[in-house]
Structure 1
């Protein structure tokens, strides 16, 4: 039986819709923005951006491994007819996912970035292949962004409802955090009165929901913020906020050190996810030249009090595996970008990138002795720790996996595709490497 998983790249570029039929579309959109340069208030600018995002369409493009799956945001062909402030919104980034819902932040806007920045939130529903728009937070002098993956979506009920939450720093000290909450059934942002003291330099590397009532923001160098909305999400006015330290026995780093933050790139060797009903944390630590270079997986105890090691796997086992040796031409190259399967306990996906150093001739580099790193190939490898199995996918000559990946369980989505096959252009990514008909 094939083991299915969907891996998405987080960056979503905008594409153009087909030209409007019947003509006049460009004039209509242009007239909708006539006078935008005269807008004075923050509310007017926010409303203009929200209205423009309401014209977007979306679709999922699911690829066979080792290619990444992606979302496509389709904008009207009259894009160039809108004023430059809106043209600047040309991409989005996936912040989180829960079942069939994806939360994206469109444009360069971040909380606290400034009232003139155009942007907002998009919620993609894979069952309906549709987008809904959530306006950006109103800007003020009291809140600031706390990371790139700080918007958490959580399904609420079976009717398509959801919560969207944004974790922000409180200015001017940047020592406490607060949460803005949006509920789809009662639209409108509300700032929760509860505050939480956090370590200096906390930065949300990824976010997800847990147990249907808990929102999580993770700093892979510093720890995790949890916001418990209570049973059936009934405690919206006074949710419980708490900070969870990373496992005590895993290597620690000063998360307030900018050098660590930007040069270590924790996504390359750490990740965290909700696997079934358990939060798991994977880290790769050690020296490639030593026997101790291993994948260590920790599980958070049900009472959230501490971590315990659930499995440990020496990377030597991967290098020695027949699948690795027969598929790749690589030596002992260290893996990167670990991704925990969200519905297969003990399964981790890893990226192996084969690089080489070459000497440029004088006519290329301009001087002798110039050396540069050249990309050769890249491999996606599936490791089943519990059963000591390794599957190496065919190589790709494109360096496509160079950013943090998002793992999504599309079980609900697959059912919707079967019910409405014409609505979504996708096939499922399976470990056998074959395309699965839906």
Structure 2
């Protein structure tokens, strides 16, 4: 494939679906680019001429709000079940700024993050208690439940433990099914069910119906979302508020995928497992363990989660000598940027040490596992602090004495061609509480 601007390209949508996370690296090789080249690559997806970018320059370009818009960029078959109709992800301009700041006030605020840390720590302790009783389980299934319970408690959602578990599993199934044509209809089914449930919560909080307003704390996330306003100060619809309530809780459930990958990495790096075990034991807690945070960040850097993100050019522009025309779709290579040899020493090596001395990982332009640029000014996920808190606490929990993570090949491998991917077993484990726990 030629990398000349304007070169005639065959549509590569089928190849993208076949290649999954390997697509970007394959098209770069086919374009004759060296592994360390960050040159943009013309591609053709969904019947349209597009451009693939990566690296710090690509990140700055992609997140320039004067050059790009998000409305209509994500294909509807992905956007619909994953984010929901009217979600912040598809907004631009003043609408986006107002919505994003409202969500950041809830998910990015340090006091709110601290409240989540308390919830997730308690739920992970309960997860270990359950594992000790049942003797075995899987990291993915166990953390799906723990993260779901923690997210709903944090948000002030009035649900029983049983319903919290059911909703968390629904969100998990949505994430398992939305990215593949054969299972995408199932994701739409889960989206419809979750929308009905969340809309009922919003209506209950708004109108004070039995079981609704009376059970919703005035200072809760749910109460704030029930009062969500647009850029003109008008109350958003019940459905839009319900969608954003899910967008503040479902991404936490999605961290279970990173938790499974973290378990794999702990097996493959026992020296770090021991180091984290000692630090966690000395601290006597699961949260705010520097070694566990560094390990979690390296998991987010190296393991596959989001493959690419799209935007539509709002004006004619160019990058690296490659023209971009108004309306053209540009894709940001997330995994390729996170492992770009131009920005990371020994980029392909798993080394949490690289994050130990980093004060603010969000200042690293080439570290974009959940989006880049500023939380309030760009499109970075406002729940990133919560995601890191959940994952790092899980890393600490998995290093607890008595936890045995399976080292079978089935637990340590996963398909790079499937989106979203994870080990099929969920990574099996056993836990036998010890006297030193």
Give your verdict on TM over 0.5: no
Larger radius of gyration: 1
Higher helix share: 2
Higher strand share: 1
Q: TM-score under structure 1 normalisation?
A: 0.22
